[in-house]
Amino acid sequence: MKQLLIILALFTLIGCKEKTTPVNEVAVVEDRFRENYRPQYHFTPPTMWMNDPNGLLHHNGTYHLFYQHYPEDIVWGPMHWGHATSKDLISWEHKPIALYPDELGLIFSGSAVMDIHNTSGLGTKDNPPMVAIFTYHLMEGEKAGRKDFQTQGIAYSLDEGETWKKYSGNPVISNDGNIKDFRDPKVFWDENTEQWVMTLVAGDHAKFYSSPNLKNWTLMSEFGKNIGAHGGVWECPDLFPLQVEGRDETKWVLIISINPGAPNGGSGTQYFVGDFDGTTFTTNQKEIKWLDYGTDNYAGVTFNGLPDTERTFIGWMSNWNYARDTPTEAWRSAMTLSRKLTLHKNKTNGFYLKNYPVTSLDEYAYATVVHDTMKNGMSLSSKNYNEQRLNFKIPGKLDDFKLNFTNINKESVKFGYNSNTKSYYLDRRKSGVVSFEPSFGDKVHTVPAIIDSPTDVAYSIVMDASSIEVFIDGGSTVFTDQIFPTTPFTALTFTSENATIANLKVSKIKRIWK
């Protein structure tokens, strides 16, 4: 189809020189990224496989997103770092691949920093380097049954991330052969101690290192062996300070992805709220806290290079249970929306994080329709709910309700609250194509209601071609799930004995691909 359009476009250009707007050329441009299930306003790679976000960095007004990428197949393979940039965290421009595997191994997950004082000496004071810190994974070592096949390396760019060179002294942290899972370095500049701090995961715990120059690293401390969730291996850590909303108090948050062991199955992201004194992370937290109760938000981390008040997170919108099996053909998997993280405290929950779409998404909303109220049994219809955002409130006390999106093929995705179990649920069991892997559609995803205001709760539901993200109470409870309906959802029905929906705003969201 695409070839045909290109030929037509060329024909039009050659044959009708006097025309200023070649109609078919426009058609070629608009055909880009319209494949079945391709998200229209979430980041996806141009083609082939993607997993974790890497090296999230804001510099000179540009957001950089690097990502785990295998450019030769739509399943996981020898890892590269793909690259994309954005001005607003919603629209992304694809860039050339940043990092390729080399003789030290594949390029696994990690982070990026701007070394503005040129502490590494890899650039100059006038042109400081952008430095990527990543894990080398040596397949030969793994195949030989050794345990020392994951080490840490660095690479640098002197042209804003366009081209990269590996550091000649790699690896910067070698592996003594005792820990096979030894990866995913997240580095930041600690203003208090004036040194680089790296958080690394090692199977069942995190390790903290310090460095004056990003090349020489010293182990400072460890955290987590006997605390938190341990249903699987710890991956993709992130450590950062956050001020508690409305209080003169700053805490440190440690994000840890874990696979398997998530509350609704497979891969998930837990977090700890505590203190970091420059050397050691400590917490009084007893309970396990999860960032998301859907099954498709994994390996997420936050941007370096932003003020602490703009702590912004992106996750990989998939799950290792079925990531390789989802029904796409040209590319595989998307990132979550960029989300702002805020820290809160109340009597019931102690400290807890909210994660909510960045406000720049609001600028992509158009054709907004407002419905003042929606009562029991009422239905709305639309050409395509899979390109829309719905914001609304349920006034009064929280009570049973259900929202059901359906299509002409009788597929459905349901979101609601159950007062018997005091929990929210998202049910994608009949949402379309689900049978590609048994755990995708085997159960309803649930979460106990964790809210700081049990009345007048606000909701935001964001649906793209193959995902649904539900933000409850400004993001104190979140579900992120992939869905693969065979045709878009076109009807929405509300059911509740006692509750009504107020001020429902339904907006279309502009597509980001040019």
Judged by the rule CB under 6 A, the positions of this chain that interact with ligand FRU are: 51-52, 68, 79, 108-109, 135, 183-184, 235-236, 299
Q: Are 39 and 466 in contact (CB under 8 A)?
A: yes
Q: Which two tokens stand for residue 366?
A: 């158009």
Asked if residue 407 lies in contact with residue 489, where contact means CB atoms within 8 angstroms, the answer is yes
CB of 299 to ligand FRU, least distance (A): 4
Residue 464 annotated to the active site: no
Residue 204 CB, nearest distance to ligand FRU (Å)? 14
Q: Cα–chain-centroid distance for residue 93?
A: 17
Instruction: Determine the number of helices (DSSP H) and then strands (DSSP E) in the chain.
Output: 3, 34
Q: How long is the chain?
A: 514
C-alpha dist (Å) from residue 501 to 190, 385, 392, 401, 458: 46, 18, 7, 10, 10
For the chain, report the end-to-end CA distance as a whole number of angstroms: 18
DSSP state of 338: P
User: How many C-beta atoms lie closer than 10 Å to residue 307's C-beta?
Assistant: 7
Report in angstroms how near the CB of residue 324 gets to ligand FRU at its nearest. 12
HEC states along 425-482? EEECCCCCCCCCCHHHCCCCEEEECCCCCCEEEEEEEEEECCEEEEEEHHHCEEEEEE
Closest to ligand FRU by CB, 167 or 182: 182
Q: Choosing from 31, 52, 452, 464, which is the catalytic residue? A: 52
Closest distance to ligand FRU from the beta carbon of 238 (Å) = 13
Closer CB to ligand FRU, 150 or 386, in the complex: 150
In whole angstroms, the minimum distance from the beta carbon of 383 to ligand FRU comes to 36
Cβ proximity to ligand FRU: between 105 and 474 the closer is 105
DSSP letter (8 states) at residue 115:
-
Nearer to ligand FRU, 78 or 350 (CB): 78
Residue owning tokens 């820990």:
179
Rounded to a whole number of angstroms, the minimum distance from the CB of residue 183 to ligand FRU is 5
**Closer CB to ligand FRU, residue 200 or residue 394?**
200
Tell me whether residue 108 or residue 149 sits nearer to ligand FRU (CB atom): 108
Name the residues annotated as catalytic.
52
